[in-house]
Amino acid sequence: MNMNNNSNNNFPEIIPIFPLKGVVMFPDTYLPLNIFEPRYLEMINKAISSKSRLVGMIQPNNSNHNNFCDVGCAGKIVKFEETSDRRYLITLKGLSRFELISEKTNRKNFKEAQVKWDKYREDLQKKDIKEKFTNLKVSLKEYFKIKNIKVNFEVIDKCNDYNFVDQITMICPLAFEEKQLLLETISISKRGNLLKSIIESYASEENIAKVVKH
């Protein structure tokens, strides 16, 4: 069932949140999810029945005094399918990042959070960025080779989406702290520079390791 309607910019102050370590979502990206735990099935039921159909993706942060990271991203359920074994296959479209104020477990045993949207209000504005990401793509190719990740380099070369940086951040096996740092960086151009720096550091470490071994 497709659920593509115009997004509502008047976001609620309380939203359900889905904690997944190593998973981040950005505005104008799409995140498919396989929902099977009973509490999260309840979460999706509530989200679908709400006006906004929002679900907040956020990373757990067990190394901090808080249970979760300070920033997540809310997505709207734009696709929903129920399987024969009672799972939900959904797709979220990222709309806006948010700051976490507080969270609690509700009666249905899933988390709801009070959030603020102000810091990332520009997430909803139309982007007009034209960039070929040439230097980033060169670094990415080296990174994928080092990580033995098979990718179609022709697709990467042809991709000029303004949020190419965000799409790559979502799929790359970066440390959760690195993904979180990228998520919290407001400017997409600064995220691009930061991502390039991170993946080049992996290449540098691998090259040093090879020298040491030999």
CA distance 74 to 55: 5
What are the backbone dihedrals phi and psi of residue 35, each rounded to the nearest 5 degrees, phi first? -105, 125
pLDDT band at 209 (very low <50, low <70, confident <90, very high): very low
Query: Which DSSP helix (H) or strand (E) runs through 191?
Result: helix 188-213
Instruction: Tell me the residue type at 97.
Output: R
Could you report the per-residue pLDDT of 56-66, keeping only the tens digit for each?
999 998 765 56
Buried b (16+ CB within 10 A) or exposed e, 22-38: eebbbbbbebebebeee
Q: What is the mean pLDDT of residues 183-211?
A: 83
Could you report the per-residue pLDDT of 102-133, keeping only the tens digit for each?
999 999 999 999 999 999 999 988 777 777 88
pLDDT at 174 exceeding the cut of 50: yes
Could you report the per-residue pLDDT of 11-23, keeping only the tens digit for each?
999 999 999 999 9
Q: What is the pTM of this model?
A: 0.87
**pLDDT above 90 covers what percent of the chain?**
69
